[in-house]
A and B are shown apart, each in its own frame.
Chain A
Amino acid sequence: GAGVSQTPSNKVTEKGKYVELRCDPISGHTALYWYRQSLGQGPEFLIYFQGTGAADDSGLPNDRFFAVRPEGSVSTLKIQRTERGDSAVYLCASSLPSGVGELFFGEGSRLTVL
């Protein structure tokens, strides 16, 4: 694919449920970022990977949030015991080794927690 691919594009879940959001970065991109964008706000940094390891997870709001990138390509953001405040668009972005070139964002996964 030409760009960053995120699935699902929309996810509606009930409070307390578990959700997984998937990101497929641009081929060859080794750096991968997750951001969260609440309605009417700018994106907020969550975590970034350089290869398989999380280089910085300081933006994860609490221990209900977890992300993995086991093979250094696809990443999954996992949210346990969802709360209504988790409702937002979750954006994934990728780049060549972090800081090189441009950061490319996907279209996001819109999560709604009822």
Chain B
Amino acid sequence: QQQVKQSPQSLIVQKGGISIINCAYENTAFDYFPWYQQFPGKGPALLIAIRPDVSEKKEGRFTISFNKSAKQFSLHIMDSQPGDSATYFCAASYHSGTYKYIFGTGTRLKVLA
């Protein structure tokens, strides 16, 4: 019930294509859903986040789609670039006001030039 399941484990996309990463959760008490980007040897960095009262949030080329009834959310990267090649983690938090996250297992994205 505490897990956040992430798929796919790895993803290869052509430059200019759309990258889609999916996450699913069980605990309906989760109230904050961020996505983090991590480059090798670096710490995770916040990319974009959403709360369950919103079905979609867009920031530049990055969009989160949120389906509360299905308990699923996804990250879409439009016009994917080689510089987007990194590992992406979804996460969820149910302690409002804290960053005590449950992270997914990560998706390794490679964008081919």
- Interface residues of chain A, those whose CB is within 8 Å of chain B, are 4, 31, 33, 40-45, 48, 55-56, 59, 91, 93, 95, 98-99, 102-108
- Interface residues of chain B, those whose CB is within 8 Å of chain A, are 6, 41-46, 89, 91, 95-106
Q: Chain B contacts of A42 at CB under 8 A?
A: 6, 89, 91, 103-106
Beta-carbon contact of A105 and B45 below 8 Å: yes
Beta-carbon contact of B43 and A106 below 8 Å: yes
- Interface-centre pick from A43, A93, A105 (highest chain B CB count, 10 A): A43
Q: In whole angstroms, how far apart are the Cα atoms of A103 and B43 in the complex?
A: 11
Interchain nearest-CB distance for A104 vs B (Å): 8
Q: Chain A contacts of B42 at CB under 8 A?
A: 107
Q: In whole angstroms, how far apart are the Cα atoms of A98 and B97 in the complex?
A: 6
Q: In whole angstroms, how far apart are the Cα atoms of A108 and B98 in the complex?
A: 20
Q: In whole angstroms, how far apart are the Cα atoms of A104 and B44 in the complex?
A: 8
